Structure formats: C-alpha cells, structure tokens
Amino acid sequence: MPLMSTVYAATHLLSYSFLFGTQIWHSFIGGIISFRVLPRAYFGALQRRLFPIYFSLQLILSLALLLTTPRSLKHHQQATKTYAFLLTVVATSFLNAVVAGPFTTKIMDKRKEQEVFDGRSYDGRKLPGVTEGAERGGDREADEVRVSDEMKALNKKFGMWHGISSLFNLGSVVGTIGYGVLLAEKINFD
C-alpha cells in the first residue's frame, strides 16, 4: 500500500473512531453523569466550555471523513448512502457549531442575568443568599415559587434551542453510526 493511501486510511479510521467515541461519551455518558451530580450552575459552566469544542470537533472530524472517504464507498452503488450519512454529520455539526450552540448559550446567559434581576432561579425558586433588596426589591414570600414573565419567555426560547441542538446532535450520531455500518461492510475477515 503506497504511503499516501496508508495516511488517508489511517486518517479516516482514526477520525471515525475519535468522532464516534466523542459523540457517545459526551451525549450518553459524560453529559448525563455531569447533569446528575453537578449543581446546576457548575453543570452549565462546564457545558458552556465543552459544547463549542465538541461541536467544532464534530465538524472537523466529519469533514476529515468526507475528504478521506475510501474509493470503495464512493462507487455508484454506495455513493448515495455514503454521502447521505457523511453530509448529515457535517450539516448537523455545522448547524450546532454556528447556529444552535451559540443561540442556546446566549439565552442561557440571559437567563442567568434574569435570575439575578428577579432574585429567583429559572424555575421560580428563591435564590440562596438573596435577601430583600434584590434588583426587584426582593420577595417577602420566599417560599412561594414564582416565575417572571421575562423568565418564562427565556425558558421557552432556551427549551426550543436546546431541543433543536439535541436533535442536531442526535442526527449527527445517527449519521455517524450509519456511516460506520457502511465502513464495517468493507472489512473482510476471510
């Protein structure tokens, strides 16, 4: 096997492995465990730092896969499936990196500001350590759960963009698995 073929093959296989492993770890293991064990503020801070890297990595690795696709997966019988899966991963990763991820982060930041302004968390509970005299004068009814209209609107936007981002991520994972099946069909153990 010529050197360039070996380089392309290694780049392709390692890119796929790294992409798939990262997707599974972040989406189904690390993210879920972090959500369950970290306080919400810490979880949000962690995800705020991880997601831009994760989405960019998905995009870079899926482009590497597209650029190093083996000839055996480009012939007319396999080409449609190959490009459908790879372009799904590229498109959903791009949309998460450039649109959904940044929008979700901006809304998350606005919710944090609104929490300080309201003296209450996003779900209407009084923030610990907030006394009367918060931006809106505090609350005498500390145990009462109240969500301001502004926070309700931000929660709705956040839920929408978070859902869109999750769907893009799921599409990326499905595309990666689909492509992995095509790639596995080319492995010969005879």
Q: Which amino acid belongs to residue 186?
A: K
Q: Is 151 exposed, middle or buried (0-12, 13-18, 19+ CB in 10 A)?
A: buried
Q: Is the pLDDT of residue 129 over 80?
A: no
Q: CA 171, CA 178: separation in Å to the nearest integer?
A: 10
Rounded percentage of the chain residues whose pLDDT exceeds 90 = 72
User: What mean pLDDT do residues 119-126 have?
Assistant: 86
User: What mean pLDDT do residues 88-114 have?
Assistant: 97
Q: Tokens 């609107």 correspond to what residue?
A: 153
Q: Is the pLDDT of residue 131 over 80?
A: no
Q: Which amino acid belongs to residue 164?
A: I
> What are the residue boundaries of the structural domains of the chain, listed by start?
3-185
pLDDT score of 137: 52
pLDDT digits (tens, 9 = 90+) for 135-160: 555 555 556 778 899 999 999 999 99
User: What mean pLDDT do residues 53-81 have?
Assistant: 93
Q: Which of 123, 110, 186, 119 is nearest to 152 (CA)?
A: 123
Residue 45 Cα distances to 34, 38, 163, angstroms? 11, 10, 19
Q: CA 139, CA 120: separation in Å to the nearest integer?
A: 9
In the chain, the N- to C-terminal Cα span, in Å, equals: 19
Report whether 145 contacts 124 (CB < 8 A). Answer: yes
pLDDT digits (tens, 9 = 90+) for 89-100: 999 999 999 999
Selected residue with higher pLDDT from 126 and 8: 8
Question: What predicted TM-score, i.e. pTM, was given to this entire model?
Answer: 0.87
> C-alpha angle with apex 73: 87 to 77, nearest 5 degrees?
95
pLDDT score of 75: 82
Please, which residues bridge with residue 143 across strands?
Answer: none
Q: Is the pLDDT of residue 119 over 90?
A: no
Q: In this structure, what is the dihedral angle of CA atoms 32, 34, 37, 41, given to the nearest 10 degrees? A: -120
Q: CA 92, CA 172: separation in Å to the nearest integer?
A: 6
